[in-house]
Structure 1
């Protein structure tokens, strides 16, 4: 996973004031590419999350997108979602429906 061919799959920003934003014993393997996880709105993202009382996801214990292999995992999950109707969770579904309709 090194060299120019893989550079688009892995990015570590040690200059970020939040680095690493999740606890890890291996900061050298921490991937910042998906700073905000593209799978956040999926109920079946496969990550290690809990739900807060507000209904929002707490992903602070999830490392899926932050590993060197995270790029492949996220892309595979997104591909699967786009090939079939996926279940997205929007906390304001009723609000969204009212605004569109």
Structure 2
């Protein structure tokens, strides 16, 4: 599979798929737990319920292009934090 480091489906998982989807073949399990969860502005479709971030309606990490989105978001956040740290010096 081309780009298999970006996408895989764990169809043996008892929770597969963990979200309602139209096409299970496009469901990406690579980010079973989203690395962007702790970002207030992650860009996903989330809501706060009783003070807890609820991402159950977000499909970004499970989409075929989720890898690119997440990696780019991490790079953006790191660049912003680096710029802010340099300004403080």
In the superposition, the TM-score normalised over structure 1's length comes to 0.77
Q: Secondary structure at the match of 1:84?
A: helix
Which of 35, 46, 53 pairs up with 1:57? 53
Aligned length: 82
Look up the match of 2:86.
none
Look up the match of 1:70.
66
1:8 aligns with 2:5: yes
1:23 aligns with 2:20: yes
Q: Which runs of 5+ in 2 are unaligned?
A: 82-89
> CA-to-partner distance for each residue in 1:22-52, whole Å, 9 max, x for gaps?
1111111000000000000001100001101
* Structure 1 segments (4+ residues) deviating >3 Å: none
